[in-house]
């Protein structure tokens, strides 16, 4: 037998051993705590696993590390005279009718925030007013590419904001990704923008799959199983079509026709004839306003009576469609946004307060959704800077993900993004538009049921 196996231990020796063990456990616990503690301004947590990129200054999700280029890399106690907001607008070209109200909404936000002295930035211990620097891209993506670069490299803006829609946002996304600049995307919803790209935040519209989320279940509720779909051949509309096709399968809906058209299309006569030949129960046209307007007018003039027609933009730009389409859209369907839908904000003005502010700046011009979208982008930008307490872009992105996303409701609804900036809140509602002989209109919200303000009239009445 081993003579050391049962050797006793003295009381003093045992006490020393216990003390050593306790000290080791405590030290290990403290070390573990500090090893896993995440700085609030530099990290966020995600459950999505993606490839890791090695960097220096970073936002650190569970499996993503991202470098940001920033114009405020050296902290200082001397506050800049302004927070510079750089953006583009299109006063001419095919996107002007959408770009201008969005830009004017951003300007309205700047006026609103500056009335209270600007955005409070803790790093400087004071409020700093905002100043917008903007250039006209004339609806041209190539021009936009050059101007986005100028805003960053020449004007040294603190915040880069995209122009309207996916077509004019695309060059900004490419530039931001290549240059590691945080981009605030107001209405560019292409799904491709948010694939492994941590340099973009979609503020005011849901990305493609959430944009069309409610259409299929709504059609299913009307027992519609055969649908004809045409869509403009660009990222925005093509992804709408792609994800809608996936949702159709879930609800047993068949696309009896699915065809693209050039985004520049204004003559839809051949497409309308092709649709009519399939005898669909519903027709969906995914396009921009420059497509929706002639399509609706030409359906009416053709005297073809489709039982259901849905287009994108009456729900965003109703005043424009009242003047350009009028009774030709009576009984048609769309996707409704504020101001047709009203939310109770937890931050920023409510709809009535916004309309008062808008009218004081643009009297006689009714605000539309894109006015609200531009204003909403400013709300999120301002809140993010205030929460971060700095103009450092890494900290601003972390503030959005940690403290704002999923927790803030504005006049545009619940702001809720993924780690790659894809908006999954703010979902539009299927609705039906009624235009009365006296010129007044009514938009009835139809889906989901808990948001409905009435019932669908299906089949819809034939065009006048």
Residue 409 burial by Cβ neighbours in a 10 Å radius (0-12, 13-18, 19+): middle
Site of tokens 């490839």: 51
Instruction: Say if residue 459 is preceded by a cis peptide, omega within 30 of 0.
Output: yes
CA distances from 55 to 182, 188, 393 (A): 16, 27, 15
- Residue 443's nearest CA partner among 297, 339, 312, 290 is 339
pLDDT tens per residue, the chain (464 residues)?
Answer: 333 333 333 434 334 333 333 333 333 343 333 333 333 322 222 233 322 222 222 222 222 334 444 444 445 579 999 999 999 999 999 999 999 999 999 999 999 999 999 999 999 999 999 999 999 999 999 999 999 999 999 999 999 999 999 999 999 999 998 889 999 999 999 999 998 889 999 999 999 999 999 999 999 999 999 999 999 999 999 999 999 999 999 999 999 999 999 999 999 999 999 999 999 999 999 999 999 999 999 999 999 999 999 999 999 999 999 999 999 999 999 999 999 999 999 999 999 999 999 999 999 999 999 999 999 999 999 999 999 999 999 999 999 999 999 999 999 999 999 999 999 999 999 999 999 998 899 999 999 999 999 999 999 999 87
Phi, psi of 159 (to 5 degrees): -135, 130
pLDDT given for residue 76 in this prediction: 56
Q: In a 3-state reduction of DSSP, which class is residue 350?
A: coil
pLDDT of residue 21: 36
Cβ-count burial 302-332 (b if 16+ within 10 Å, e if not) = eebebbbbbbbbbbbbbebbbebbbbbbbbb
Predicted local distance difference test score (pLDDT) of residue 464? 78
Determine the length of the chain.
464
Task: Say which residue the tokens 């409510």 belong to.
Answer: 350
Which domains are seen in the chain, by residue range? 83-207+342-415 (3.40.50.2300), 210-340+429-445 (3.40.50.2300)
Distance between CA 356 and CA 354 in Å, rounded? 5
CB 90 within 8 A of CB 163: yes
Q: Which of 420, 441, 334 is nearest to 59 (CA)?
A: 420
Give the closest residue to 221 by CA, choosing from 246, 253, 243, 183: 253
Query: Is the link from the previous residue into 81 a cis peptide, with omega within 30 of 0?
Result: no
Judge contact between 286 and 334, C-beta under 8 A: no
């Amino acid at each position: 037998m081993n003579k050391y196996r049962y050797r006793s231990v003295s009381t003093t020796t045992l006490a020393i051993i216990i003390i050593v063990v306790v000290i080791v456990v405590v030290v290990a616990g403290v070390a573990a705590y500090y090893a896993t503690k995440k700085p609030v301004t530099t990290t966020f947590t995600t459950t999505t696993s993606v490839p890791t990129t090695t960097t220096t200054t970073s936002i650190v999700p569970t499996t993503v590390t991202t470098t940001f280029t920033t114009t405020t890399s050296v902290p200082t106690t001397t506050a800049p005279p302004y927070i510079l907001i750089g953006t583009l607008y299109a006063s001419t070209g095919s996107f002007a009718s959408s770009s201008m109200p969005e830009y004017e909404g951003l300007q309205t936000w700047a006026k609103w925030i500056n009335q209270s002295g600007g955005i409070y930035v803790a790093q400087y211990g004071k409020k700093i007013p905002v100043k917008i620097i903007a250039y006209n891209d004339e609806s041209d993506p190539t021009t936009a590419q050059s101007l986005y670069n100028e805003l960053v490299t020449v004007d040294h803006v603190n915040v880069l904001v995209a122009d309207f829609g996916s077509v004019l946002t695309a060059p900004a996304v490419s530039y931001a990704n290549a240059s590691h600049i945080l981009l605030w995307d107001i209405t560019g919803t292409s799904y491709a923008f948010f694939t492994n790209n941590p340099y973009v935040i979609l503020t005011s519209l849901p990305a493609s799959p959430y944009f069309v989320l409610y259409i299929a279940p709504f059609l299913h509720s009307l027992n519609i199983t055969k649908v004809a779909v045409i869509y403009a051949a660009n990222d925005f509309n093509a992804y709408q079509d792609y994800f809608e096709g996936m949702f159709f399968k879930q609800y047993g809906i068949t696309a009896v026709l699915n065809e693209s058209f050039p985004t520049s299309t204004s003559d839809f006569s051949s497409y309308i004839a092709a649709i009519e030949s399939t005898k669909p129960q519903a027709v969906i046209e995914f396009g921009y306003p420059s497509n929706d307007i002639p399509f609706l007018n030409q359906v009416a003039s053709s005297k073809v009576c489709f039982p259901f027609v849905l287009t994108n933009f009456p729900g965003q730009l109703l005043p424009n469609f009242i003047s350009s389409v009028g009774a030709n859209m009576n009984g048609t369907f769309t996707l409704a946004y504020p101001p047709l839908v009203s939310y109770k904000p937890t931050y920023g003005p409510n709809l009535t307060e916004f309309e008062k502010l808008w009218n004081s700046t643009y009297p006689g011009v009714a605000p539309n959704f894109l006015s609200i979208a531009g204003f909403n982008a400013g709300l999120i930008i301002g809140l993010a800077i205030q929460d971060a307490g700095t103009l450092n872009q890494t900290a601003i992105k972390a503030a959005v993900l940690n403290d704002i996303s999923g927790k803030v409701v504005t006049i545009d609804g619940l702001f809720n993004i993924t780690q790659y900036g894809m908006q999954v809140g703010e979902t539009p509602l299927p609705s039906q538009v009624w235009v009365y002989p006296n010129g007044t209109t009514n938009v009835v919200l139809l889906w989901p049921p808990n948001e409905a303000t009435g019932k669908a009239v299906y089949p819809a009445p034939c065009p006048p």
